[in-house]
Amino acid sequence: MPSIVSRKAKPLTPEQMYEAVRQRDASAAGLFFLAVTTTGIFCRPGCPAKTPHRENCEFFPTAAAAMQAGYRACMRCRPLLGIGQVPTWASQLAQRLESQPTTQLTAADARAAGIHPATAARYFKKHMGATFQALSRAGRIGVALATVRNGAGMQSAASRAGFESESGFRKAVGELFGSTPALAASQNIQPLAARWLPTPLGPMLAVASDDGICLLEFIDRRMLATNINTLRTRLKRPIATAPSNHLDTLDRQLTEYFTGKRSQFNLPLHIAGTPFQESVWAQLLKIPAGQVRSYAQIAKAIGRPTAVRAVARANGDNRLAILIPCHRVIGSDGTLTGYGGGLDRKQRLLDIEGYQPVAGRGQVLLATAR
């Protein structure tokens, strides 16, 4: 069967990446990494392991991004090793990354492996998309975030992942952004401003441009690293911790929302998505607090009644939790369905907004405010 990669000059879509995985197309190695939500493992295309179901797959541009999301490297296809013949010292460092994800690799570790740290950094950057120090940091962040997802507190998660303190973990999460205010200034680039925001449902990460809020995610969401990278790529700007009037306003309005003093937000949003995604998100913004809609209703509202699954994907791709209320979309039978922040949070958000199911037959269970 012809290679998926050889026939496509443009970047692969998730569906094309999954087809490459299904065909075990080794020519796609290095273009993306597959992660399996049910196992917590990530692989390179061509891995001999059993092909997972599409709904259990996530795709990442680099191994570091997969590790930041909390995935562990597959021990069969060894995605942390470069393609082709790998130097012994590189294999040793990669093995450390695989077996000791909470241990910070340093320049001294490279010297112990018999290689100059700068040489090791260049090799890993070229063949694996990130230096061995960056991969080590990504692994520790991923372990901490996965620990939080499993119910541990932030301080406990930071400690288990090898960070000296919760503030050290926060700093490391900030390094996901790939920039600092000083670096951005030296390059004459205005960075997107980021801030860590505590909430009653767990800490959130917010990012804003001059035009408005462009990301608001719970810090333990598995797709956080992917969404940060997508945002940075779409807007072609680095992200750094920096002051922002928009973030000040968001912080204040979120506090009012969680204390029952606000049901609607009135701050600018910088929505960066595909035309289809933006059409779905525009419909989500029309759902009043205390009410819900089904995926089918959203599909019909945008003039694509058969695109229910695509609507569900766009709903899941929303990078502005709470602000673009994807939590107000439920199944046609009235049941709660998947939510990136977790179903418990989805229920809590609907409770905060006064959602009360109303029995209905043959249609979505709409809701009225208390």
Per-residue pLDDT at 3? 54
Average pLDDT over residues 184-203: 74
Residue 115 has pLDDT above 80, yes or no: yes
For 207-265, what is each residue's pLDDT tens digit? 999 999 999 998 877 777 778 878 877 887 877 777 899 999 999 999 999 999 998 99
Per-residue pLDDT at 9? 47
Per-residue pLDDT at 174? 62
| pLDDT band, very low/low/confident/very high, at 8 (cuts 50, 70, 90) | very low
Average pLDDT over residues 352-358: 83
Average pLDDT over residues 20-42: 85
Per-residue pLDDT at 368? 37
Looking at every residue in the chain, the average pLDDT score rounds to 80
Q: Identify which has the larger pLDDT, 279 or 85.
A: 279
Per-residue pLDDT at 62? 80
Q: Are strands 57-60 and 72-73 parallel, antiparallel or unpaired?
A: unpaired
Per-residue pLDDT at 254? 94
Q: Which two tokens stand for residue 120?
A: 């090791």
Dihedral sign for Cα atoms in the order 179, 185, 187, 188: positive
- Whole-angstrom Cα Rg for the chain: 21
Residue 77 has pLDDT above 70, yes or no: yes
Per-residue pLDDT at 176? 58
- 47 a catalytic residue: no
* Percentage of residues in the chain having pLDDT higher than 90: 23
Architecture of domain 178-272: 2-Layer Sandwich (3.30)
For 127-181, what is each residue's pLDDT tens digit? 766 777 777 777 777 777 677 666 666 677 777 777 767 777 766 666 656 555 4
Residue 369 has pLDDT above 50, yes or no: no
Residue 184 has pLDDT above 50, yes or no: no
- Selected catalytic residue, list 74, 77, 214, 326: 326
Per-residue pLDDT at 45? 86
Write the CA distances from 197 to 159, 170, 248, 250, integer angstroms.
20, 11, 10, 9
- Selected catalytic residue, list 43, 74, 77, 214: 43
Q: Provide CATH code, domain 63-173.
A: 1.10.10
Intrachain domains 1-61 and 178-272 with the same fold: no
Q: Identify which has the larger pLDDT, 91 or 169.
A: 91
The residue to which tokens 């990078």 are assigned:
319
Residue 190: how many CB atoms within 10 A of its CB? 14
Q: How many whole angstroms separate alpha carbon 146 and alpha carbon 165?
A: 17
* DSSP letters for 114-181: TS-HHHHHHHHHHHHSS-HHHHHHHHHHHHHHHHHHTT--HHHHHHHTT-SSHHHHHHHHHGGG---H
Classify domain 275-368 at the CATH topology level. Arc Repressor Mutant, subunit A (1.10.10)
For 285-327, what is each residue's pLDDT tens digit? 999 999 999 999 999 999 999 999 899 989 888 999 999 999 9
Residue 297 backbone dihedrals phi, psi, to 5 degrees? -65, -40
* Percentage of residues in the chain having pLDDT higher than 70: 83
For 252-278, what is each residue's pLDDT tens digit? 999 999 999 998 999 999 998 889 999
Q: How many whole angstroms separate alpha carbon 207 and alpha carbon 142?
A: 20
Q: Identify which has the larger pLDDT, 69 or 115.
A: 115
Q: Provide CATH code, domain 1-61.
A: 3.40.10.10
Per-residue pLDDT at 90? 80
For 324-346, what is each residue's pLDDT tens digit? 999 999 988 888 887 877 888 89
Per-residue pLDDT at 85? 67
- 43 a catalytic residue: yes
Sketch the domain layout of the chain as residue ranges: 1-61, 63-173, 178-272, 275-368
